[in-house]
Structure 1
Amino acid sequence: MKKLAICFSKNGAKIIEKINEACDGKDITPLTAYALTSSEEIPDGFTRVESDVYKWTSDNFIEGNALIFVGAAGIAVRALSGLPKDKLSDCPVIVIDDAGSFVIPILSGHAGSANKLAEIIASLIDAIPVITTSSDVNDVFSVDTFAVENRLTITEKSGIKKVTSRALENKKVTLSIKDYPPKVPVDVIIADETDAEHLLLLKPKKYTVGMGMKKDKDPSEVEEYFLNTLKENNIDVTDIYALCTIDIKEGEPAILNLRDKYRIPVLSFDAELLKKAPGEYTASEFVRETTGVDNVCERSAVLGAGTGYELVLKKTAKDGMTIAIAKRSGFKCI
């Protein structure tokens, strides 16, 4: 997802600049900077907010972007009024005071990784991360963080509270995976479906989508093709483990749009590694000449899926775009 920061003062702007100067591109990429101020001048690299904080917040919250307010927490709270709906779908929101002393995640700490982002930002500016989620402050198992880190889909939101309550009461949290069905009731089951008694079912994300496209392809066109292909194959976007492509395409705006909008990680491979993908593929001399390998979408989907893969959709092509889908063999805890 995109990370957008808004400030309301010169001090706030300096903090955003400090964060961006310290970014190494690994743990965090530079924030997209916005300024809402009556001052005639804004710092280089900032975009002036011409409307108001309410519209800016609403527009970007709906897009699923991570929002970072550098200013009073009350500004963020009022601007968010009526927007949060669900802890599993709300975008992460963070507040930083304009002295740069505290970094406070106030929304989507686990599912949206706001807590993790706050800790990274705090380390960059020597601030204190203020984490308030119960499982973190009591140092107990967080099932929603576990799901995010292991790319599992939470199917029953109510189960999160039940499992977390057990952890907070210092009770054991039991877990079963699909290859080893439980003989007694357990708290968490990792499987596609189950008839066993449980508190929470976590579904492994089963598919990798390999993609290729011409340079600077329109993101909305690629998104439509991506979603239609999933629909035609009865695959939900929440079941996608990763978007896969060749390394020279990982920065394409269309790829980044899908990554940010649907919170899907991107895996990229160089041409030499793609050539080593096991199996037979739909070869294209044009693709070979432009990328160094005869097929990008099928090969990348297979490499992303890992051992025991099944290529469930071979290469499909439309207007300079290609998609292939592979199915992963099972769940592997990260």
Structure 2
Amino acid sequence: MNISVVCFTKSGYELMKKLKDNNELKFKYYCKCRSLKSELEQEKENIELENSELQKQLSVEYVDEKISDWAKKEFESHHGILFIGAVGIAVRAIAGCVNDKLTDSPVIVMDDLGRFVIPILSGHFGGANEIAKDLSDLIGATPVITTATDIHSTFAVDVFAKNNNMKVVNREGIAKISSGMLEGKELSVYVSKEEMIDKKTIENIKPDLVLKCKKYALGIGCKRGKSEKEIEEFIIGKLLEIGVSINDVAYISSIDVKADEVGIIDFAEKNGIQFITFSKDVLRGIEGEFSESNFVNSQVGVGNVCERAALAVWDYDAELVLKKQAENGITLAVSTGWNKIRF
């Protein structure tokens, strides 16, 4: 996940430099400190003159607009946000963006001395708690985790659903399960593998929470530099043709040389879908009849990426429901299958 980092003071800017020096996470850097504006603009000019791609990735962009407008754009792109500053600044900035605990961007706050890291939104489903822990390890800070299931070390059903690519059907059940676990109650969770959930079964069982497995995977290949918009238009069009909702897609997959393909990464993040890549050796080992391309084989070492990648994500019962489709330098295959439940 891309994490957009924004600071508001000189000390926050110095702390941001430490993150740049230890860039194990995918950061994008921003600053809303007026006294640093001219320095950042000069730095940006120098980087453009050097024409260094690495330096461009590590550059800090000054935020001219209102911080709430900036935050809104980050939410729309489904980027995680790290505020280096006061919690109050963060709360005011994201107030108009908060909508749904199952889709909101993860938001974390770090004080500008780097002592504490606090996840304040989407701790479980968005992954803010884990990001806060990773950041704390990175700079030697203390993570401040406040979610009850974490501090009491009990089962978090929303984390379970996320880790197993399941949709929450009755979201009110999350709070019921969480509070019930803390009180030691006997609870029930119904997991459906079907497209349509049997209402009679639900009425008879009366589960506290209903989860639905996401059963589709998208195998993607593309020419370098394809935009998120191009990829989205192609994929959504093909999914409509076969009657599959993007909300039922568990994985997007490709070959490992596409691990940094911005268009695919942005599309996956925008839709909250896990992006997985495989080596050419793993893809070669996938059994089946595929539409092979000598040109693709000469470029990446395997003759078909999208179909093999679409199947590679599943533990069992994998099959293609849409074979290789190609258009404007993008290829797509859609598979269905199942994975083992992971606790």
TM-score relative to the length of structure 1: 0.90
- Kindly report which structure 2 residues correspond to 1:53-202, keeping only aligned pairs within 5 A, or say none: 53-173=67-187, 187-192=188-193, 193-194=197-198, 195=201, 196-202=205-211
Assess if the C-alpha contact under 8 Å between 2:9 and 2:33 holds in 1. yes
- Kindly report which structure 2 residues correspond to 1:1-334, keeping only aligned pairs within 5 A, or say none: 1-23=1-23, 25=24, 29-39=25-35, 40-42=38-40, 45-173=59-187, 187-192=188-193, 193-194=197-198, 195=201, 196-329=205-338, 331-333=340-342
Q: Percent identity?
A: 37
DSSP 3-state at the match of 2:103:
coil
Report deviation, 1:243. Answer: 1.0
Q: Which amino acid aligns with 2:19?
A: I
Q: Which amino acid aligns with 2:87?
A: A
Aligned CA distance change for structure 1 residues 235 and 35 (closer, same or farther; 3 Å): same
Distance in 1, Cα, partners of 2:280 & 2:32 = 45
Distance in 2, Cα, partners of 1:51 & 1:165 = 41
Distance in 1, Cα, partners of 2:332 & 2:125 = 28
Assess if the C-alpha contact under 8 Å between 2:315 and 2:339 holds in 1. no
Distance in 2, Cα, partners of 1:58 & 1:274 = 39
Distance in 1, Cα, partners of 2:73 & 2:275 = 25
Assess if the C-alpha contact under 8 Å between 1:3 and 1:68 holds in 2. yes
Report deviation, 1:217. Answer: 1.6
Distance in 1, Cα, partners of 2:207 & 2:217 = 28
Q: Which amino acid aligns with 2:6?
A: I
Assess if the C-alpha contact under 8 Å between 1:190 and 1:204 holds in 2. yes
Query: Which segments of 5 or more consecutive residues in structure 2 lack a partner in the other structure?
Result: 44-57
Q: Encode CA deviations 1:182-205: one digit per residue, 9 max, x unaligned.
A: xxxxx2112133413211111122
Per the alignment, residue 182 of structure 1 pairs with: none
Q: Which amino acid aligns with 1:70?
A: I
Distance in 1, Cα, partners of 2:295 & 2:83 = 47
Higher helix share: 2
Tell me which stretches of 4 or more aligned residues in structure 1 moved more than 6 Å.
Answer: none
Distance in 2, Cα, partners of 1:234 & 1:326 = 13
Report deviation, 1:268. Answer: 1.6
Assess if the C-alpha contact under 8 Å between 2:76 and 2:270 holds in 1. no
Report deviation, 1:108. Answer: 0.6
Distance in 2, Cα, partners of 1:274 & 1:138 = 42
DSSP 3-state at the match of 1:31:
strand
Assess if the C-alpha contact under 8 Å between 2:324 and 2:332 holds in 1. yes
Aligned residues between the structures: 317
